[in-house]
Amino acid sequence: MNEMEQLRKWARIFGIPPETVYETSDLVGFFRYFAPHGDGLELVFEEYEFGTDVMERLRRCYKAAIPTTDDLYFVPSSTMCDEREALYLLQMHFKELSTIATIMNDQELVDILSTLSFRQVEKSAFSAAISCDDCPDVWVFDLVVDYSTTLMPMDTSILLLEDAIYSMANDKLLQQFILWPLYQASSSLEDPYHSYFLAWSRGIRYTITSSDTCLFCI
């Protein structure tokens, strides 16, 4: 079975016209068909090695998200998370990012992630914060992408769902958390995006628009 045939096989599960599917990006939004609880994911994953591991991570995302079939994106439910817990999770997340930056010999980013101050803001102020094309937010995204290219993932058709998984929240870090079982064997790190998932699932959002401050909201 070639790639297009595999994508069309998955499309048929929910009645997506297979003739409209030619490439991985044609399944953007695919995982909303399994909302609100992830019922039916086994139809996609159970036949593949490590498929169960990826599926269980996806189920954790459904459990954390607002139970709706109307929203294209996965949005975490409101939870009781205080500033102290948010800071702890963010610090753990940045520690893991700093480890990746060290592996990638990016000392500048290591220094930034190690010395950031944190400032909690209201959601309205957070939404107004503007990221730029050359700031730590972008450097972190590039770091995650670059690190993934140094690894050798398992040879599996599940990788064809990378775009569909990314489109769940337009979130590279969440995508890497979900797919990590496919990469773990080729990495010296155990689970470097787990703390990010914990922060995301608690409704914590952050942005690093300057080299000294991380703004976050809950």
Which one-letter DSSP state was computed for residue 158? G
CA distance 52 to 34: 16
205 DSSP β-pair partners = 217
Of 199, 204, 197, the residue nearest 180 (C-alpha): 197
76 DSSP β-pair partners = 65
CB atoms near residue 175 (< 10 Å) = 22
Determine the longest span between alpha carbons in the chain, in angstroms.
52
One digit per residue, the tens of pLDDT, for the chain of length 218 reads 899 999 999 999 888 999 999 999 999 999 999 999 999 999 999 999 999 999 999 999 999 998 876 777 999 987 778 999 999 999 999 999 999 999 999 999 999 999 999 999 998 888 888 777 788 999 999 999 999 999 999 999 999 999 999 999 999 999 999 999 999 999 999 999 999 999 999 999 999 988 999 999 99
pLDDT of residue 67: 84
- pTM to 2 decimal places: 0.94
Taking the domains of the chain in order of start, what are their residue ranges? 1-77+153-183, 79-151+187-218
CA distance 188 to 217: 32
Q: Crossing angle for the helix pair 194-201 and 172-183, nearest 10 degrees?
A: 140
pLDDT of residue 133: 75
Of 30, 54, 32, the residue nearest 42 (C-alpha): 54
pLDDT of residue 69: 67
